[in-house]
Structure 1
C-alpha cells in the first residue's frame, strides 16, 4: 500500500513538473475532486493536496466542514520556499476581512483541541484533481495565489498522524470552496460523501451528477442553511423543529431545539445534544428499543446507551433498531437515521447508541457528527444558502466508499 502511494505521489509530482504552466479546467472539466480517508485511530477525515512550486509537496489535511480557511504548519521544514506573505491593506487581506494595518494575520483554530493562534496569511500554488463530465479525473490542476494561514507546529496537536493542517470548507470568503469558485468561475457549491473508509469532496458545477447514479442528485431533499444564535455564518447550521423515534414525536419544544441551532460537523465523531434534549431522547429511545425486545447491556467507554446485537435483524441500512428522524422545515422534509448511522459496534455482540450528551448551554443545541454524516450525499450551496441531502446510500445498496473515480490511492493518505 505504501509503495502504491509513493508511486502515485511521484506521478503527480512528475506531472506538475512537466506542465509548469497552470492547467486551468477545460470546458470538459466541470469540477475538482478531493479524496477523503477516515483515520481509524482518531476518527478524523483526512484529504490531501499538492502545494508549492519550489518544490511541489503533498500535504495531508484534516477536513473541517465549518473551517473558515486552510491552515498549515509552516515551521517544520516541509514547506516549499514559494509561499509569499500577504501585506496588510492589500486586496487579498481585505478578502479575509482583516484590517490590521501592516499586519495581515487571521484567527486560526484547531477545532478538535480548540487551540488557537494568529496565523500569518500567505499565498502559494496548490494542485488539485479535475473531474470531467464522464466522472473521470483528467488532469492535475494548479491554482495560483491560493490563500492560507501559516501557523506554528504546536497547533497540530491532536490531529491524525502525518497531518500538516486543516482544510476549511466553511462559508468564509477565503475557505477552500470560495477560493476555488473564484479561481475557476464555479458555482459556490460543493458536495461531500463520507464513509467509514474512503470518501470524496467534490467542488464545482455539479460534478457529482456524472459520478453518482443518475437519479441520486435529483432525489435530494433541501433545507435552508441558517446562522447560529450569534449570527455566525462560517459553520453550517440547519433548523431541526422536532425529533421522532419510530414515528413517535418526542416531547421537546421548538424553542429548546432552536437555541443555538443544529450544526453539521466533520470534527465531532458522534452527534451530541444539549443535556435536556439528550435526556428526553435517551429515555424515549430506551423505551422504544425495549418494546422491540432489544436487550440493554452495560455502558461502554464514552457511550451511555448500549444493547446486545444478538437476534437483531440485519438490513441494508444496518441493524434493525428504532429509526430516528430529525424533522426540518416541515413533516415532509426529514433527515432519517437508520441503524448503521445511529449505532456503533463497539465489540462483538454489543452496539451502542452513537449520540452523546453535549452538556449544558452548548453553542449548538445539536451537533450532527461524522458517524451520522457517513454514506449520505450532502450538497452545500453557498450561493443560495441551501443544504441538499440524500437518504442513506446504504438503502440503495451502495455507499460513499464505492465511488472510485481514478488513480486516487485507496490506502491511507
Structure 2
C-alpha cells in the first residue's frame, strides 16, 4: 500500500469459496461482481430469495488517484451467493452481482476501509457514476483526464446516516432559476418517526419527490420554461418538452437550473440540464423527476442515480460530511474519463 492513497472499483473479483459437504458447489471460475449503479425501471425491487453467506478473499486495485496500481487483497471478505433469479429481471445480462454501499458492518465500503484502517485508511468512498464510471475507496485526490482533480470543486454538507444505514442530507429549500419554489418545508425535515428529509439512493434511477413537492417543482419549472412547447408526458415523468426547441450547452440542454439549498443558504447542489432533463423518447425531453405520491412513510426527496451522473459524490464518514461537485461537464471532464491504464 506504500505510496498509494486509495482503492478504485471498476469491477471486483471474488473467488468462489469451498462449500461444506451437502451444500451447492460453485464452479471453479472466478465470479465477477459488477458495481450496480442503480436498479433499472424494469427491475423487481421486491423480489427476495434465500442465499448463503460466504467468506473469501477480495482482490481490488489500488490507486494514487489517477491510474490503477497494484492489486491488493481483502481477506475474510463476506458476501452472499444469491440465486441467479435475483439478477434476471431488469439488470443487464453481464451483471453477475450487486454491491451494497449502505452503512452496515458487511457493506462493501465498510469491509474494505476496515481492513486497511491500521494503515491510516480513511472511512471514505466516492461515486462517479457514468457508463464507464468509477468508485473510489479512501481519501482524495481523484483525477480524471485531462489531469483534472475532481475534488477541487467539492462543496460539503453534513452527512446524516439513518438507523437503517441509509444516507441523508439536509435540504432547506429548492430554487429554480434562482427563485424560491413554494413548498411545504416541513416535509424537508426528518420527524421523530424517521419520516421526511432527503435521501441519496442509487437504487432509484431518477429523483423521487413527495407529490406536493413534485407538483410545485414541475409547475414552477414549466413556468420558467414557458417559451418551449410542451408535449404529451412519457411515463414515469410528469412534464415533457419538444427537444429540438431547446438549445444545447456544455452541461446539457439550456433549461433553468435547479438548486437544492442545503444546511447553509450559500451551499447549494446545482442541477444543470444534463441531470435534470432526460430524452424519454425520440424528440421528447422530460424533467427527470418522478412523483412519489402522497404516502408520507419515508423520505420526501430521494436523489436518484441520474441526478448523480457525472457528479462526484463523496461519502466522508470520518468527518460526517457529504461532498458533491455538481456536474463535472462544467469542468470539461466527466466520470467516463478515469485513466484505466494500469501503472506497471
TM-score range, shorter chain: 0.7 to 0.9
User: Alpha carbons of 1:387 and 1:327: their partners in 2 closer, same or farther (altered >3 Å)?
Assistant: same
Q: Gaps (5+ residues) in structure 2?
A: 19-27, 190-194
Q: 2:158 aligns with which of 185, 202, 224?
A: 224
User: Alpha carbons of 1:112 and 1:212: their partners in 2 closer, same or farther (altered >3 Å)?
Assistant: farther
State the partner residue of 1:252. Answer: 183
State the partner residue of 2:23. Answer: none
CA distance in 2, matches of 1:223, 1:213: 26
Q: Gaps (5+ residues) in structure 1?
A: 1-25, 36-46, 67-110, 409-413
Measured against aligned partners, the alpha-carbon deviations of 1:155-207 in whole angstroms (never above 9, x if no partner) come to 33423313232101111121111111121222100111112x21000112325
- Deviation for aligned residue 1:211: 7.7
State the partner residue of 2:285. Answer: 351
- Deviation for aligned residue 1:248: 1.1
Q: 2:34 aligns with which of 61, 64, 87?
A: 61
Residue 238 of structure 1 pairs with residue 158 of structure 2? no
User: Alpha carbons of 1:209 and 1:399: their partners in 2 closer, same or farther (altered >3 Å)?
Assistant: closer
User: Alpha carbons of 1:365 and 1:214: their partners in 2 closer, same or farther (altered >3 Å)?
Assistant: same
Trace 1:293-312 onto structure 2 (pairs within 5 A).
Answer: 293-312=227-246
CA distance in 2, matches of 1:156, 1:131: 30
Is contact 2:158-2:169 (8 Å) kept?
Answer: yes
Residue 49 of structure 1 pairs with residue 13 of structure 2? yes
User: Is the partner of 1:147 in helix, strand or coil?
Assistant: strand
- Deviation for aligned residue 1:217: 1.4
Measured against aligned partners, the alpha-carbon deviations of 1:263-308 in whole angstroms (never above 9, x if no partner) come to 1111111111011111111111111111xx1111111232221101
State the partner residue of 2:3. Answer: 28
User: Alpha carbons of 1:268 and 1:374: their partners in 2 closer, same or farther (altered >3 Å)?
Assistant: same
Q: 2:210 aligns with which of 274, 297, 308?
A: 274
Trace 1:385-404 onto structure 2 (pairs within 5 A).
Answer: 385-404=320-339
CA distance in 1, matches of 2:283, 2:269: 28
Measured against aligned partners, the alpha-carbon deviations of 1:351-372 in whole angstroms (never above 9, x if no partner) come to 1110010122251111111110
Measured against aligned partners, the alpha-carbon deviations of 1:29-64 in whole angstroms (never above 9, x if no partner) come to 2221111xxxxxxxxxxx443434774604133436
State the partner residue of 2:222. Answer: 286
Measured against aligned partners, the alpha-carbon deviations of 1:320-363 in whole angstroms (never above 9, x if no partner) come to 11110111101111110111100011234321110010122251
User: Is the partner of 1:272 in helix, strand or coil?
Assistant: strand
Is contact 1:212-1:403 (8 Å) kept?
Answer: no
- Deviation for aligned residue 1:152: 3.2
Measured against aligned partners, the alpha-carbon deviations of 1:224-282 in whole angstroms (never above 9, x if no partner) come to 11144xx43x1211111111111111111321222422111111111110111111111
Is contact 1:65-1:235 (8 Å) kept?
Answer: no
- Deviation for aligned residue 1:214: 5.4
User: Is the partner of 1:154 in helix, strand or coil?
Assistant: helix
State the partner residue of 2:300. Answer: 365
Is contact 2:210-2:301 (8 Å) kept?
Answer: yes
CA distance in 1, matches of 2:88, 2:145: 36
RMSD: 2.5
Is contact 1:112-1:267 (8 Å) kept?
Answer: no
State the partner residue of 2:319. Answer: 384
CA distance in 2, matches of 1:118, 1:263: 28
